[in-house]
Structure 1
Amino acid sequence: MSKVAGGKHVRRSERQWRALLARFEQSAMTVSEFCRREGICTASFYRWRRLLGETVAGDRPMPPANRSADFVDLDALSLTGPDRLELKLDLGGGLVLHLVRG
Structure 2
Amino acid sequence: MARLPNPQLAQQWRERLERFAHSELTIAEFCELEGYLSASFYQWRRKLRSGELRKAPAFVPVDFNPSDLEGGAQRGVEIDLPGGAIVKVPVGATMAEQRQLIEAVVQATSAEVGS
Higher strand share: 1
Pairwise TM-score range, normalised by the shorter structure: 0.3 to 0.5
Query: TM-score w.r.t. structure 1 length?
Result: 0.40
Query: TM-score w.r.t. structure 2 length?
Result: 0.36
